[in-house]
Each structure stands twice: as C-alpha cells, then as structure tokens.
Structure 1
C-alpha cells in the first residue's frame, strides 16, 4: 500500500484499526504508528507472523495461516475503503475493486494455496461489510476524530487505541 500523503495514511491506519476491531483481531497487534509504511503501520505480535511449527499438525498450521490471511485481507480492504470513502468522499470503482481482489487472490494462492473462486466470496463479504461500516455517519465522524488524534500523537498502543475506540463509541 502506498499513501499519497499523511492524511491518506491517517485514514488508512484508522480504517485498519477499525478492521482489527471488526475482525476480532485486537490480540494480534501491540500498537499503531504513522512512522512506518503500509501494513507495517500496525505493529503485529509475533504470533501474527506464524509460518508453521513442526510440532503442530499440518491442518492446524494451515488454519492459523489462513486465519491470518483473512485478517490481512480485511485490513487491506478496510484501509482502502476508509481512505476512498472518508478522505476522497467517493466509492471504489470496478477497476480498483478488481485490482484489489486480484492482489488478494494472488496472496491467497501464495500463502494458502487458495484458488480465486475460494478467495472471491470472502473478499466480497468483507468488502460489502466494510462499505456498510464506513457508510455509517456516526462511524465517519468518529474516524475523523481518530485521524486528528493520530496526526497529533503519531502512534498509540493497543490499549490506547481501545480506549479511543470506546470513547468514540466505535467499540
């Protein structure tokens, strides 16, 4: 993910923090920072980077990798949708949505040996849900406030993010 400027990055990071909450993945990160790039703005726990363990059977290992792939997909969609809808006051066109799906399908194939037809329903479900979330006027207002806080402080711990989300009535 590339950001055009600091505002773009702030909305992307805010979108991803909402995504972490929505996808019940708050335990997989320790904080957020504007001083990194792309998904690195989210400071993940070591468990998030699980790539297998010979002591765990193959099915459990794959399920863990698949779960983290789904979270990554949700975060990338949340980042993109939040920036487009809240910062640009627009919608994601078909070409952009297809490019996003193509990237997620390629990642799914590489990480989990998934075919496109296995990725597409998950992608569509997440995409539709996140468009609804970011269409909510109360969420939009709260994200604008969160962006202002991010600009001011540049980074937050997970507990600070949770406090902010509670104060803004997002959680």
Structure 2
C-alpha cells in the first residue's frame, strides 16, 4: 500500500470492499476500473502480509476518493463486511471524505443494511453496470478537481 497521495489528495481513486466469496466479481470490477486508468485498492487482493487488517482498512478508507461496497448474501451476514461498511459511512459523513457506492450482487436494496439505504446504489447484474460505475467515478473525479481549484483560488 502506498501512502503518497495522488490525484487531488487521495492515494486511491477507488477502494473495493467485499466478502472473500465475492473475489471473482471484485476482481472483474477492479481490473476494469484499472484498465480505465483509475488507481485502486481491492481489499483481499492488495492486503500486505504482516500488517494490521484494521489499521490498513482505516488508512485505505481515508485515502480513497470512492468506496465500492459489494453487498451479496454472504457479505450481508458477515460481521467484518458490516464493520467496514460502517467505517466507510462514518468517514463519508463525519469527515466529508470518501463517497460510497453500494453494489448489490444477487440481493436487493431492501435486503441490504438499513444504514446504507439512503445511498444511490448499483445492481451488478444490470446491462449498464460498468457504464454507470465509470460515470459515477468520473463525476466524483470532476467534482474533486473543481473543489480543489476553487480552494486554490481563495
């Protein structure tokens, strides 16, 4: 994990959080985003052996412009996945940091945690999933650049 900030103060354009059972989907999403030029962190792929999982999660959440939460039947029942989702939400609200995109995989929004239902979501199985995800990341990137340039003018 690199600690040097890149694009507009964030080390990562995205971080993706998921249950190990969802690794094939997380890999597909991460590879596609990286191919499009986004810099990212995939939870179970980019962890460094011998480091604290908790401290790494907190550092990555703070260093990511967008958090992608994969929500599947397995992850919804997993205490660690719930905790990471809550940490991302806390950072998003209280620190005005990371934006969150819940991605539902074979479950509905109604089955997801109530604390995430206020967020606009994506359904992985839809025809336009990648198009919408890329658009969301690009929109967030443009907003971050605009906010940075307006602060620089002051």
Question: TM-score, structure 2 length as denominator?
Answer: 0.29
Which entry has the higher C-alpha Rg, 1 or 2?
A: 1
Which one has a larger percent strand, Structure 1 or Structure 2? 2
Which one has a larger percent helix, Structure 1 or Structure 2? 1
Question: TM-score, structure 1 length as denominator?
Answer: 0.27
By relative contact order (CA 8 Å, sep 6+), the higher-ranking structure is 1
